Chain A
Amino acid sequence: MVKIHFSRKQLCIPYGLFLALFVVIPMLLILFYAFTETVDGTIRFSFANFLNFFTSTAKLSTLLMSFTIAIISTAICLLIAYPLAYILARSKFKKKNVLLMLFIMPMWINFVLRITALRELLDLIGLLGTDNYLNTIIGMVYDFLPFMILPLYTTLEKLDNSYLEAAADLGGNKFTVFTRVTFPLSMPGVISGITMVFMPSMTNYVVSDTLGNFNITILGKLIDQYFTTYDNWHMGSMISIILLVIIFLTMLLTGRFKDENRDARGANLW
């Protein structure tokens, strides 16, 4: 009997293929489209899209608004999720997994359905159509809250109680223990949550379209418009690249915290 043995290299082939076909080649294509333009049917290298983005009032204000909406949504998510995750993780309640599941469960229901339901709800209480920005932010928070709770809960749950006891022993009151020990140690969860909420809030235009009655344009919507209605793949790709750079920069900034807390890395679920 021949014993079949896969070498590591061979086991990588399926993933390698996947990586090449669906990650590397598309990325290269986007780069190619972003730095070219079509003039009279011929494609040529150009920086026009780049310049256009940073000189167009409409695009810059869209960028600014997406950014603001995303930051506000993330901040609200954090404000709601942190106390919740903290209480949940520290509580002695035996069935806390059930509680956690109740918060996470919405994630398993299709979000378009949830947003449509929220639209009806907002209509019922008379908010729909009055303040589109507020509605969009409500939608984003509602939609992405579980993504904030989960990493926070995992970090806080894994927090070694002996650290807190040691801090208390050394004379720290509850507030000091929290600000000097608990919060810094939960930073990886916070960062992970922020990235999980911030990025989609900048692009998830189903939320802004449904709840803002198409009054609000965010970056994701702009990209969609360039590909589907304006028929300009070059500009669409350029905006995607700019978004990518923004996200990359945020990661770079937040990455510092992660390295400092190497031990707690397991919390970084995503």
Chain B
Amino acid sequence: MRKQILSTVLALCLAFPFLLLLAGCAAETSLILRVYNWEDYISEPTENDSEYVDLISKFEEEYEEKTGQKITVEYSTFGTNENMYNELQINPGSYDLVCPSDYMIMKMISEGMVEEFSQDFLTNSNYAKYASPYIKDLFEEKGWTNYATVYMWGTMGYVYDPELSETIEEDLSSWSGIWKKEYAEVATIKDSVRDSYFLGVAVAYREELMQLKERFEQGSIDAKAYNDEITRIMNLTDEETLEKTKDALIQLKENLYGFEVDSGKQDMIAGRISINFAWSGDAVYTMDDAEPYIDENGKEIPGIYLNYIVPEECSNIWFDGWVMPKGANTELAEAFIDFLSAPENAVENMNFIGYTSAIAGDRVFEEMIDWYDESADPENRGTDEDGNALVAYDLNYFFNGTSDGEYENGDFIIYVSEESAKRQISAQYPTEDVLTRSAIMQHFDDETNASVNEMWEEVKGLPIPLWAYIAIAAIIVLILVAALSFAYKGKRRNAKVKKGYTVLKRGAQ
């Protein structure tokens, strides 16, 4: 008996490695902040470039300096909003700070999944001081101010190669540009329901949207009414809209090079495609990487100058923001946002990620002048080295009211050449007109989601090509023939046994 127990124990030991895997980590003495963010969405040194500031360890150091307490940031990343949401559903209270996109923030707020920010944070933090008033007003209007702060934001548009055709700029000033036969197999769109749905609706309702624009330009409706109406149209999910959108997208599919998840940037840079439906942040990245440049050995690396355009009908203003899930350590989470909202850190992030931070302030504006301004003389801006007049790119709507005293309201203008105004800066900071026609995409409820997904499935799965029908028919015929001949053969074999012979069963010997 004893022997049996002993060997049972030993056998259990064989299973020990599994148990070890399941066991948790040892306890830590320092404070822990658990942050859950998108991949590649914070400045950190990379293998190729160690120049980037490691913002996480910088935060840990700064926090210890300020409060005397050690803090460790447990930083993990997710790939889609839905993955993040599921993770939170399965393990509630496992994170202090997460960074979902607009519609997911809406969903989480409506489901009561997030903590409110403290009054102190809302009135007296770097975020309160430096976040752009444009962003803050937008949030105030929607009633999200107490639950979420914006991290990065932008629009959607087309990145394109202006050399592709004479009329490309004009063609792409409408979303329907990539439906044209002229641009067959040169464009990609996102393999994502929400983004592509937006594109489909914009084309399906092109006439209505253009009429609205006309009315707005004539002055018969004001900016707010215009934007509200666009937001209403772009969020339509009734059956008729779904049907129209589906038809538009299936038509588009035939004309596309393909869908993409993340390869659009590389495909643009490599010249495989010439038009890409992109988020503004990715657009900046693509344009940066495609440009010709001079490497460290002084060798010229050829490249192409790409443009970014937000079509006339409408656009989508999107943002990713920080929320604190229920049960979070709000004090630490707020300290982290406060740290990220300091303009010098926001600049590091923008530099690394390529997206546009919601943080304004002198430091960010100076960086933008450094990146984009082409004035020859910093004191007397407005003309370039050759004396050509530059275009005034007005960023006052974004920066006004966030200066520490270096700039006055109204000073926030960047002077760029006409060509450059269509490049990185237009993706980094959309102009005010673009924002007037940019809608926030809402969160769909479960039922709507199901029918939108169904529509998307049909777009992706249909139509079945003709050859497939032929192939299937051939396969069925083949199977039938095989089955028939098999059955026939079986009969013949049995019939062949002649009288007087004994049939030996297989294996009988």
**Are A14 and B462 in contact (CB-based, < 8 A)?**
no
Which A106-133 residues have C-beta < 8 A from chain B?
A: 123, 128-130, 132-133
CA distance A21 to B4 in the complex (A): 25
Which A188-222 residues have C-beta < 8 A from chain B?
A: 209, 212-215, 217, 222
Partner of B7, one of A10, A129, A232: A10
CA distance A132 to B256 in the complex (A): 11
Is A231 close to B, CB under 8 A?
yes
When C-beta atoms are compared, the residue in chain A nearest to B452 turns out to be A230
Write out the residue numbers on chain B whose beta carbons fall within 8 Å of the beta carbon of A228. Answer: 79-80, 82-83
Is B31 close to A, CB under 8 A?
no
Partner of A217, one of B185, B272, B453, B460: B460
**Are A133 and B465 in contact (CB-based, < 8 A)?**
yes
Known: A6-B7, A65-B468, A231-B82. A58 touches B458 (CB 8 A): yes
* B contact patch SS: helix
Is A91 close to B, CB under 8 A?
no
CA distance A55 to B353 in the complex (A): 44
**Are A65 and B461 in contact (CB-based, < 8 A)?**
yes
Write out the residue numbers on chain A whose beta carbons fall within 8 Å of the beta carbon of B257. Answer: 129, 213
**Are A215 and B259 in contact (CB-based, < 8 A)?**
yes
Write out the residue numbers on chain A whose beta carbons fall within 8 Å of the beta carbon of B15. Answer: 13-14, 17
When C-beta atoms are compared, the residue in chain A nearest to B261 turns out to be A214
**Are B258 and A232 in contact (CB-based, < 8 A)?**
no
Write out the residue numbers on chain B whose beta carbons fall within 8 Å of the beta carbon of A14. Answer: 11, 14-15
Is A243 close to B, CB under 8 A?
no
**Are A58 and B461 in contact (CB-based, < 8 A)?**
yes
**Are A213 and B462 in contact (CB-based, < 8 A)?**
no
User: Chain A nearest CB: distance from B469 CB in Å?
Assistant: 9
Write out the residue numbers on chain B whose beta carbons fall within 8 Å of the beta carbon of A5. Answer: 3, 7
Write out the residue numbers on chain A whose beta carbons fall within 8 Å of the beta carbon of B193. Answer: 229-230
CA distance A212 to B256 in the complex (A): 12
When C-beta atoms are compared, the residue in chain B nearest to A11 turns out to be B11
When C-beta atoms are compared, the residue in chain A nearest to B258 turns out to be A213
Is B138 close to A, CB under 8 A?
no
Is B8 close to A, CB under 8 A?
yes
Write out the residue numbers on chain B whose beta carbons fall within 8 Å of the beta carbon of A130. Answer: 185
**Are A71 and B475 in contact (CB-based, < 8 A)?**
yes
Is A72 close to B, CB under 8 A?
yes
Is B428 close to A, CB under 8 A?
no
User: Chain A nearest CB: distance from B253 CB in Å?
Assistant: 7
Q: How many positions in chain B have a CB within 8 Å of any CB in the partner chain? A: 46
**Are B258 and A217 in contact (CB-based, < 8 A)?**
no
Partner of A62, one of B461, B465, B475: B461
When C-beta atoms are compared, the residue in chain B nearest to A4 turns out to be B7
Write out the residue numbers on chain B whose beta carbons fall within 8 Å of the beta carbon of A176. Answer: none
Write out the residue numbers on chain A whose beta carbons fall within 8 Å of the beta carbon of B83. Answer: 228
Interface string of A62-76 (1 = CB under 8 A from B): 101101100110000
Write out the residue numbers on chain B whose beta carbons fall within 8 Å of the beta carbon of A225. Answer: 453, 457
Write out the residue numbers on chain A whose beta carbons fall within 8 Å of the beta carbon of B261. Answer: 209, 214
Known: A213-B259, A214-B260. A10 touches B8 (CB 8 A): yes
Is A59 close to B, CB under 8 A?
yes
Interface string of B255-279 (1 = CB under 8 A from A): 0111111000000000010000000
Write out the residue numbers on chain B whose beta carbons fall within 8 Å of the beta carbon of A97. Answer: none
Q: How many positions in chain A have a CB within 8 Å of any CB in the partner chain? A: 43
Is A61 close to B, CB under 8 A?
yes
CA distance A129 to B12 in the complex (A): 55
User: Chain A nearest CB: distance from B483 CB in Å?
Assistant: 10
User: Chain A nearest CB: distance from B475 CB in Å?
Assistant: 6
Known: A5-B7, A64-B472, A68-B468. A214 touches B259 (CB 8 A): yes
Is A28 close to B, CB under 8 A?
no
Is A252 close to B, CB under 8 A?
no
Is A179 close to B, CB under 8 A?
no
User: Chain A nearest CB: distance from B231 CB in Å?
Assistant: 24
Is B211 close to A, CB under 8 A?
no
**Are A231 and B85 in contact (CB-based, < 8 A)?**
yes
**Are A214 and B457 in contact (CB-based, < 8 A)?**
no
**Are A59 and B14 in contact (CB-based, < 8 A)?**
no
User: Chain A nearest CB: distance from B18 CB in Å?
Assistant: 7
CA distance A64 to B475 in the complex (A): 12
**Are B11 and A61 in contact (CB-based, < 8 A)?**
no
CA distance A13 to B454 in the complex (A): 45
When C-beta atoms are compared, the residue in chain A nearest to B193 turns out to be A229
**Are A72 and B471 in contact (CB-based, < 8 A)?**
yes
Is B192 close to A, CB under 8 A?
yes
Known: A56-B457, A61-B464. A232 touches B185 (CB 8 A): no
Write out the residue numbers on chain B whose beta carbons fall within 8 Å of the beta carbon of A217. Answer: 457, 460-461
CA distance A17 to B191 in the complex (A): 40
**Are A58 and B454 in contact (CB-based, < 8 A)?**
yes
Which A1-42 residues have C-beta < 8 A from chain B?
A: 2, 4-7, 10-11, 13-14, 17-18, 21
Is B449 close to A, CB under 8 A?
yes
Interface string of B239-255 (1 = CB under 8 A from A): 00000000000000100
User: Chain B nearest CB: distance from A181 CB in Å?
Assistant: 16
CA distance A132 to B10 in the complex (A): 55
Write out the residue numbers on chain A whose beta carbons fall within 8 Å of the beta carbon of B188. Answer: 213
Interface string of B439-480 (1 = CB under 8 A from A): 000000000011001100110111011011001100100000
What are 26 residue pairs bridging A and B, where the CB atoms are less than 8 Å apart in the complex?
A2-B3, A4-B3, A4-B6, A5-B7, A6-B10, A14-B14, A58-B457, A61-B464, A62-B457, A64-B464, A68-B475, A71-B471, A71-B475, A123-B272, A129-B258, A133-B465, A133-B467, A213-B188, A213-B259, A214-B191, A214-B258, A217-B461, A225-B453, A228-B83, A230-B82, A230-B449
Top 4 A-B residue pairs of the complex, sorted by shortest distance between their CB atoms: A213-B258, A214-B259, A58-B457, A58-B458
For the complex with contacts A209-B261, A230-B449, 13 further pairs of A-B residues with Cβ separation under 8 Å are A5-B7, A10-B8, A10-B11, A57-B458, A58-B460, A62-B461, A65-B468, A67-B472, A214-B261, A215-B256, A228-B79, A229-B192, A230-B193
